[in-house]
Amino acid sequence: MVDVQGRSDERNIAIQKVGVRNLRYPVTVLDKVNQEQHTVATVSLYANLPHHYKGTHMSRFIEVFNRHYTDIRMPTFLTMLEQIRVALDAETAFGEVHFPYFVQKKAPVSGQPGMMSYHCWFSAEKGADGSRFIVGLEVPVATVCPCSKEISSRGAHNQRGTVRVQVQLGPFFWLEDLIEIVEASASSGLYTLLKREDERFVTEYAYDHPVFVEDLVRASCLAIESRYPFPWFSVEAENMESIHNHDAYAFVERGEQQWQVGNHGD
C-alpha cells in the first residue's frame, strides 16, 4: 500500500514532537511489598520528525508500547523508547506514563488497613547518545499553620495540601520510600480509613507538628538529599488554604537535569 506519511515535504519545517496522546492502557509497575502492581495508565508517546518527512507512522507507537506494557520500569521504558526511535527513524523519542499507584496504609491507632492512591508518572526521552528519565509523584498531606497556632487561644487553621516530587534517576528507589519522606515532613499524612481513636490521634499529632509550605519543602528536600544522590530533583507544595481565598505555594530545586549515557537505575 502507498506510504503517504513517508512522502517528502517541501515546507522545510521540522516538528519537535509528534505522536499519540492520552492512550489508556493497563500497565504493570514495580511494587516494594508485592514485587509488582497492576494499574491503568494514561500514556503519551512522541518522536521528532525531520523536515523532509510529511508525517509519522502513528501505529508504530502503539505496536512498540504493546510489547512493553506488562513491565514498566526505567530500563524497559528506555528500551521501549529506543525501539520507537529506531522504528520511526527519529533522533529522539519521548514518553510519559501517568498512573495511580496504590499503597496499603494502616490507621495509626486501630491498625485498620485502607488503600491509598498516589498519582505517579514517568517522563523520559531517549536519543542515540543518551537519555533523561524523570519520576514524579503527588502526595496528599495535612498541614497546620504555625502562625495560626501561635496567635490563637483556641485551635489553629489546617488544610489539605499536595506535595509534588520529581527526581532524575540516578539511584534506585521505591515510590513508597519517597511517599514516607513527604508524609513525615508534613503535619500529618492522610488515611483512607480512620476510626474515632485514629481521628483523635491524627488531629492532635498534626496540631503538635505545625508546618508552613516553606517548612514542608525544606524538610522534604533535606530528607531526600540525605538518602539519595539524585543528579536533580524538585519538591513543590501547595496548600488549599481553609481560611484564605488563595493557595499557599513553595518550590525548591536541587542540582541540574542531565543527559545520561546508558540505562541508569537497572
Q: Could you write out the DSSP letters of every residue in 16-74?
A: EEEEEEEEEEEEEEEETTTEEEEEEEEEEEEEEE-TTBS---HHHHHHHHHTTTT-BSH
Residues 151 and 227 in one domain: yes
Structural domain includes residue 109: no
Final residue in a domain of this structure, among 100, 119, 137: 100
Structural domain includes residue 121: no
Residue 19, Ramachandran bin (φ over 0: left; ψ between -120 and 50: alpha; else beta): left
Residues 78 and 183 in one domain: no
**Tens-digit pLDDT string for the chain (266 aa):** 544 455 565 566 778 899 999 999 999 999 999 999 999 999 999 998 765 565 567 888 999 999 999 998 878 899 999 999 999 889 999 999 999 999 999 999 999 999 999 999 999 999 989 999 999 999 999 999 999 999 999 989 999 999 999 999 989 999 999 999 999 999 999 999 999 999 999 999 999 999 999 999 999 999 999 999 999 999 999 999 888 889 899 999 999 988 888 654 44
Residues 74 and 176 in one domain: no
Domain extent at residue 173? 129-257
Cα gap 266→262, rounded to integer Å: 10
Compute φ and ψ for 86, nearest 5 degrees. -70, -40
- Closest Cα to residue 175, out of 185, 184, 165? 165
Structural domain includes residue 88: yes
Residues 96 and 133 in one domain: no
Structural domain includes residue 210: yes
Beta bridge mates, 99: 120
Residues 72 and 146 in one domain: no
Residues 95 and 138 in one domain: no
Structural domain includes residue 222: yes
Residues 139 and 95 in one domain: no
Statement: the pTM of the whole predicted model exceeds 0.75? yes
Domain count, the chain: 2
Residues 58 and 144 in one domain: no
Q: Quick one: how many helices (H) and strands (E) in the chain? A: 6, 9
Cell numbers representing residue 36 in the block: 509488582
Structural domain includes residue 216: yes
Residue 249's identity, in one-letter code, is Y
Residues 253 and 169 in one domain: yes
Q: What is the CATH number of the domain that holds 205?
A: 3.10.270.10
Residues 212 and 139 in one domain: yes
In degrees, to the nearest 5, what angle opens at C-alpha 214 toward C-alphas 216 and 171?
50
What's the pLDDT score for residue 266?
A: 42
Structural domain includes residue 162: yes
What's the pLDDT score for residue 9?
A: 54
Structural domain includes residue 39: yes
Residues 133 and 249 in one domain: yes
What's the pLDDT score for residue 2?
A: 40
Residues 87 and 133 in one domain: no
Contact by Cβ (8 Å): 6, 53: yes
